[in-house]
């Protein structure tokens, strides 16, 4: 076998390892119910859940409890299937949290009742660019 072939095979082997590990380490978007199922089957890999905060009829966020030392909080999240779930996050409340339109939590169930988020991604009405025109009362004219 020529040296070039050995190198070629080596490269292919590394590439395959990379592909397999990318698939293996890729997370997935789940709902709370499938996440719970995964947890009860002993699968503790972190997953992504997309949803929004629970709000009352007046649009106020309910179920947000801030820890006494303000460095952690729990909140109630509703996933896209409508399942409500209490989520714990071991960081201070992000300041624009209650304004978020959509939240993605990355984490896993620690107990049956408690989903622990390692990371929270938020989508706010105008996070990157102000595409909605907010009424400006004052005018130059």
Partner 1 sequence: MINTFIGNLGHFMVILAFVSAIITAWSYYQYTIVPETEKASWRKFSRVFFYIHAVSAVSIGVILFNIIYNHRFEYFYAYSHSSEALPVHYMISSFWEGQEGSFILWIFWDVLLGLFLIHTNKSWEGPVMVVFSLVQAFLVSMVLGVVIGDLKIGSSPFILLRDVANAPIFQMNPDFVPEDGTGLNPLLQNIWMVIHPPTLFLGYASTLVPFAYLMAGLWTGRYKEWIRPALPWTIFSASILGMGIIMGAYWAYVTLNFGGYWNWDPVENASYVPWLIIVASIHTMITFKKSSTALKTSIVLVITQFILVLYATFLVRSGVLGDTSVHSFTDLGLSGQLLIYLFFFLFVAIFFSVRAWKHIPSSEREASVYSREFWIFIGATTLGLMAFQVILPTSIPVYNAIIEAFGGVSNMAPPADQVEFYTKFQLWFGVVVACLTAVGQFFWWKKMDKAALKSALVTPYLISLLLAAVIISLAQVWDIVYMIIVMAGTFTIVANATILTKLLRKSTFKLAGGSLAHIGIGMMLIGIMFSSGYSDTVSINMSGLTYKRDWEDELNKENVLLWVNQPLQMKDYEVVYRGRHKKLEGVPGYVSVRKLEMTGQQNKAIALEDIVIDGETYHKKGDEVDIVLEENSYFEIEYYQDQKLQFTLFPMSQPNPTMGLISSPDSKHYLTKDLYTHISAINNYDDPEWGEAKEYKATPGEQFHLGDYVTTFEGGEVVNAVEGVELKEGDVAVKANLVVQDHDKQIELAPVFLIRGNQVGRIPVINHDLGIKVQVDNISPEDNQFVFTVNSYQKDYVVMKALVKPYINVLWMGTIIMLMGFGVAIYRRYDEFVKMRDKGLE
Among 6, 80, 84, 127, binds partner 1 (CB under 8 A): 127
Among 18, 37, 40, 43, binds partner 1 (CB under 8 A): 18
71 sits near partner 1 (criterion: CB under 8 A): yes
* CA triple 27-30-36, angle to 5 deg: 105
β-pairing verdict for 114-123 and 84-89: parallel
63 sits near partner 1 (criterion: CB under 8 A): no
118 sits near partner 1 (criterion: CB under 8 A): yes
90 sits near partner 1 (criterion: CB under 8 A): yes
Which residue, among 17, 25, 23, has the nearest Cα to 9 in the 3D structure? 17
4 sits near partner 1 (criterion: CB under 8 A): yes
β-pairing verdict for 102-109 and 73-79: unpaired
């Amino acid at each position: 076998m020529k040296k070039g072939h050995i190198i070629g095979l080596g490269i292919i082997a590394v590439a395959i390892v990379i592909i397999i590990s990318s698939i293996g380490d890729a997370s997935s978007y789940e709902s709370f119910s499938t996440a719970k199922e995964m947890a009860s089957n002993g699968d503790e890999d972190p997953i992504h859940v997309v949803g929004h905060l629970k709000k009352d009829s007046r649009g106020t966020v309910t179920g947000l409890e801030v820890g006494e030392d303000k460095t952690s909080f729990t909140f109630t999240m509703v996933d896209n299937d409508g399942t409500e779930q209490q989520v714990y996050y071991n960081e201070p409340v992000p300041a624009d949290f209650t304004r978020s339109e959509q939240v993605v939590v990355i984490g896993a169930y620690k107990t049956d009742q408690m989903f622990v988020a390692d990371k929270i991604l938020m989508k706010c009405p105008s996070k990157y660019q102000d595409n909605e025109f907010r009424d400006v009362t004052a005018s130059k004219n």
